Amino acid sequence: SASQVPRTEPALPQGVSRSTFVKAISEITQTLGTENVELNDKPAVDHGWYMEHPNTHDMMHVTDPEAFVASAVVYPSSTAEVQATVLWANKYRMPIFPISMGRNLGYGGAAPRVRGSVVIDLGKRMSKILYIDADDYTCLVVPGVSFYALYEAIQAKGYDHIWIDTPDLGGGSAIGNTLDCGVGYTPYGDHWAVHSGLEVVLPTGEIVRTGMGALPGSNTWQSFPYGFGPIQDGLFSQSNLGIVTKMGMALMPNPGGHESFMYAFAHSADLAPLIEIIRPLRISNILENVAQVRSAEQTIAVQGRPKTDFYTGPGMMPDEVIEREAAKLPCGKCAWVYYGMSYGPAHIRAYKLDIVHKEFSKIPGARKIDPATIPRDNYFWSRDNIAAGVPDLEELLWCNWTPNGSHVAFSPVSPIRGRDAEALVKLARDRRAEFGVEMFPAFCVGLREMHLIVEIVFDKTVPEARKAAMDCLRAMIDDAAALGYGEYRTHLALMDQVASTYSWNDGALMKLNERIKDALDPNGILAAGKSGIWPKRYRGRGWEM
């Protein structure tokens, strides 16, 4: 494989000759400055961690690390420099791949889909919060603004009345996460739903503002997302049709109190009735944030200890061991753990929590765990932070489960029904046994649907372990599609497969995507292959995988 011979030169994009590449790089260096163009002439190496990850490839690669690797990384400092970079890419037919901060771990990290692409790292120099409107509870950010940075800026200004929403890991870009339809855990957790207004550089270099931002001097860009229509924002989410350089977002008012709660459910068979109980409570907002139902295995693993601390036998950790180890934790012996948060002043919370307690208690053996009994270093308090909009970093501790632990996610969407939860867990566990992979399932319940996030954890240095993870994912995607479930998001390497499951009416959606792609990006330079959408000059030439 490519990685056996250490590379000392950049991996050139297919179709770009060495001399063209050298000429092109020298030109973009003149535009952006020497220090803002970096050649990637070293083999993809795995060091780094979440906060200091490489921007040339996926630190948690589930493929050969050289499969999706950048030839160079450039750092524009403004919308005008992004525009100049896009025009440059068109001139040289250079594949480019924009990242905001590149922390898209579990879905490809910073890696480009086309080997040898020039990664445009937007976040490094475009990281200023343009404004926070403390009266309207809105903000305008650029790609390098992380959830941490937004949180810290609000604290620094002393705005006690404003909260942000953060995903499980707070180090990523608000723009990157929102464009990929990421979620957080306050009532403002649907990031796409609370965004308002984009500024976008199109693949041919034009700069567009969506919504009210198209009106010069507009004063409602961040408060009315729709403008005069048509709503074009969706073109730029999970696509390869533009580079987003600014985004508006609504911020949440401090609810005046909050209280995390945790319930443990004793048996695996409790999952279906629990999900049935959650649905009406969630739709009516008695459960106010994305409800998390996590497996006991994940709760054990998020202590950050390796599997071998608990089990050294062959294969998966047996149920008896899971029960035994869960029993040592605050959740106690259980199969599923519920993490939630109630918002508002005490009497409002008491009203809602009382309903939740009565409903959850219909499941025999359900136990509410008193937060006062939970040690401060327990993961419960990470969830408490996250559901209160305080960024946190503990989530990835379960990667320590295997040596050189990496993760990749299977993320199907389903109705909030017990039978769907059971079908998806069975599907995942059957394939887990077949491929011998380690996995942690967790349900994230939105308003009228739930995402099951199955994190597969593997040793990235072992090719067989990577292959098992990929084979297992491919099988699960097909199994899910056969039952009517589709993924909301996936790893770079699986985008073609997932896109192909959205095939209604002879692939009408992909045909539309391709027509739009050809119209907006005639030279096919921007993020070819992202979301399974290939520009004309790549299509049907063996790029799909």
Residue 37, phi then psi, degrees to nearest 5: -135, 125
Residue 79 binding ligand ADP, by CB under 6 A: no
Supply the minimum distance, in Å, between the C-beta of residue 298 and ligand ADP: 21
**Binding residue (CB under 6 A) for ligand ADP from 11, 119, 122, 386:** 122
Q: Report the DSSP pairing between strands 72-74 and 37-39.
A: antiparallel
Binding residues for ligand ADP restricted to 214-253, rule: CB under 6 A: 243-244
Contact between 424 and 452 (Cβ < 8 Å): yes
Residue among 93, 488, 537, 539 flagged as catalytic: 488
Closest among 155, 238, 147 to 184, alpha carbons compared: 147
Q: Is 391 in the site for ligand ADP (CB under 6 A)?
A: no
275 and 416 in contact (C-beta within 8 Å)?
Answer: yes
| R_g of the chain computed on alpha carbons | 23
H-assigned helices in 239-345:
271-283, 296-301, 319-327
User: Considering only 99-107, 217-225, 338-346, 440-448, which stretch makes contact with ligand ADP by CB under 6 A?
Assistant: 99-107
User: Under rule CB under 6 A, which residues in 400-459 are in contact with ligand ADP?
Assistant: none
CB proximity list for 102: less than 8 A, separation 6 or greater: 53, 55, 109, 110, 119, 121, 123, 176
Q: How far apart are CA 16 and CA 116, in angstroms?
A: 9
Q: Which is nearer to ligand ADP, 246 or 432 (CB)?
A: 246
Set 75, 92, 103, 107: catalytic member: 107
Number of chain positions touching ligand ADP (CB under 6 A) = 20
Residue 104 in the binding site for ligand ADP (CB under 6 A): yes
Nearest-approach distance from CB 98 to ligand ADP, in angstroms: 5
Q: Is 179 in the site for ligand ADP (CB under 6 A)?
A: yes
Tell me: does residue 176 bind ligand ADP (CB under 6 A): yes
Those residues with Cβ within 8 angstroms of residue 320's Cβ, 6 or more apart along the chain or in another chain: none
| 120 touches ligand ADP by CB under 6 A | no
Calpha distance 86→89 (Å, rounded):
5
Minimum CB separation from ligand ADP for residue 201, in Å? 8
CB-nearer residue toward ligand ADP: 101 or 399: 101
Q: CB of residue 79 vs ligand ADP: minimum separation in angstroms? A: 11
Q: Identify whether 107 is a catalytic site residue.
A: yes
100 contributes a contact to ligand ADP by CB under 6 A: yes
- Which residues fall within 8 angstroms of residue 522, CB to CB, at 6 or more apart? 204, 536
Indicate the residue among 451 and 530 with the shorter CB distance to ligand ADP.
530
Beta strand 96-99 pairing with 118-121: parallel
Q: Contact region for ligand ADP (CB under 6 A) — 83-91, 177-185, 323-331, 355-363?
A: 177-185
Neighbour count for residue 273 (Cβ, 10 Å): 17
Q: Which of 197, 530, 535, 538 binds ligand ADP (CB under 6 A)?
A: 530
203 near ligand ADP, rule: CB under 6 A: no
C-beta of 245: minimal distance to ligand ADP in Å? 7
Q: Which of residues 58, 165, 168, 180 is near ligand ADP by CB under 6 A?
A: 180
- Cβ atoms < 10 Å from Cβ of 293: 24
**By the 8 A CB rule, do 50 and 9 touch?**
no
Q: Is 143 in the site for ligand ADP (CB under 6 A)?
A: yes
Cβ closest to ligand ADP, residue 53 vs residue 460: 53
C-alpha–C-alpha distance, residues 422 and 420, integer Å: 5
Residue with smallest beta-carbon separation from ligand ADP: 176
**Residue 489 annotated among the catalytic residues of the structure:** yes
Query: How far apart are CB 497 and ligand ADP at their closest, in Å?
Result: 17
- Report DSSP letters for 111-141, one per residue: --SSTTPEEEE-TTT-----EEETTTTEEEE
> Catalytic annotation on 338?
no
| Residue 149 touching ligand ADP (CB under 6 A) | no
Amino acid at 388: A
CB closer to ligand ADP out of 98 and 524: 98
- Positive or negative torsion for Cα 97, 98, 102, 104: negative
Q: What is the binding site for ligand ADP (CB under 6 A)?
A: 98-104, 122, 143, 172-173, 175-177, 179-180, 243-244, 527, 530
Show which residues are catalytic: 107, 488-489
